[in-house]
């Protein structure tokens, strides 16, 4: 028997006509009962359709599969929290300075993306343009708006959304990239609304078209809100 599914509002698009990977992953992760201290791994099997009912089916081990029209769209499952290399935190001022909205030089592959699209209104999208932070890392500051949370803190689905596009920056060169998998552990203090946090990322490995990156969301002084890994797939523009 299926469990309650979900519908992705068209506002939360990534590439045209499909859902923003991080936001969709966060919605899927909410259907998984992951104990505190663990992570959720979400794998996108195909572009997530918008304004379409996704049916959720439980899987062994506490996971869930989401399908539309009989086709598998996403899977989510609890996994151990990733162990990342510990690095000195990039501060808020450095993250603000690193932001690079002109990185694509007017040729952004997905200009209406909820996470990093330059054509989106900041009143209803994230617009996170991570840039080089002086070493091999990329960084950007994220100040969650009121619509991104409740009770004064950012909602988990927007935490997932906020780490998505910045985690692509180490992988994004001449090719466009799309999210294949995002694994995220949310712990530590919640992310306050209206106060800047820092998203930093770096490359861990490249395997053909697959780019493996690490990502950390923290308060600018090192208190970690969330950390994880992403797999990005290079695709033709």
What domains can be seen in the chain, in order of their start residue? Answer: 3-80 (3.10.129.10), 92-235 (3.10.129.10)
Quote the pLDDT of residue 23: 98
Q: Which residues contact 148 (CB under 8 A, 6 or more apart)?
A: 154, 155, 158, 193
* Tokens describing residue 49: 């359709």
State the Cα–Cα distance between residues 223 and 217, nearest whole angstrom.
Answer: 9
Q: Is the pLDDT of residue 211 over 80?
A: yes
- Helical axes 156-168 vs 21-29, angle rounded to 10°: 140
Q: Is the pLDDT of residue 151 over 50?
A: yes
Quote the pLDDT of residue 174: 65
Q: Is the pLDDT of residue 237 over 70?
A: no
Instruction: State which H helix or E strand residue 94 sits in.
Output: helix 92-98
Burial 157-193 (b: 16+ CB within 10 A, else e): bbbbbbbbbbbbbbbbeeebbbbbbbbbbbeeebbbb
State the Cα–Cα distance between residues 140 and 214, nearest whole angstrom.
Answer: 14
User: What is the pTM (predicted TM-score) of this model?
Assistant: 0.95
Q: Is the pLDDT of residue 197 over 90?
A: yes
- The pLDDT of 150-178, averaged and rounded, is 93
- The pLDDT of 126-144, averaged and rounded, is 96
Out of 98-107, 147-156, 215-224, least confident range: 98-107
State the Cα–Cα distance between residues 144 and 126, nearest whole angstrom.
Answer: 8
Q: Is residue 236 very low, low, confident or very high in pLDDT (cuts 50, 70, 90)?
A: confident
Residues 22 and 179 sit within 8 Å (Cβ to Cβ): yes
* Tokens describing residue 93: 């001022």
Residues 124 and 147 sit within 8 Å (Cβ to Cβ): yes
Q: Is residue 1 very low, low, confident or very high in pLDDT (cuts 50, 70, 90)?
A: very low
- Give the whole-number percent of the chain exceeding pLDDT 90: 84
Q: Is residue 50 very low, low, confident or very high in pLDDT (cuts 50, 70, 90)?
A: very high
């Amino acid at each position: 028997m299926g469990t309650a599914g979900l519908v992705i509002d068209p506002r939360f698009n990534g590439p045209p006509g499909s859902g923003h990977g991080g936001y969709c992953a966060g919605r899927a992760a909410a259907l998984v009962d992951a104990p505190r201290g663990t992570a959720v791994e979400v794998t996108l099997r195909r572009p997530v359709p918008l304004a379409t009912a996704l049916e959720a089916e439980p899987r062994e081990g506490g996971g869930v599969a989401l399908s539309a029209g009989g086709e598998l769209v996403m899977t989510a499952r609890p996994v151990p929290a990733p162990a990342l290399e510990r690095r000195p935190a990039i501060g808020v001022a450095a993250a603000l300075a690193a932001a690079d909205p002109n990185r694509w030089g007017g040729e952004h592959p997905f200009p209406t993306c909820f996470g990093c699209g330059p054509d989106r209104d900041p009143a209803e999208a994230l617009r996170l343009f991570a840039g080089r932070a002086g070493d091999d890392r990329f960084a950007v500051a994220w100040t969650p708006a009121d619509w991104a949370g409740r009770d004064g803190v950012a909602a988990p689905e927007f935490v997932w959304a906020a780490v998505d596009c910045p985690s692509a920056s180490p992988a994004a060169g001449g090719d466009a990239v799309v999210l294949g998998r995002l694994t995220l552990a949310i712990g530590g203090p919640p992310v306050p609304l209206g106060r800047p946090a820092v998203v930093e990322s770096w490359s861990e490995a490249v395997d053909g078209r697959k780019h493996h990156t690490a990502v950390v969301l923290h308060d600018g002084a090192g208190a970690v809100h969330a950390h994880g890994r992403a797999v990005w797939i290079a695709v033709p523009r």
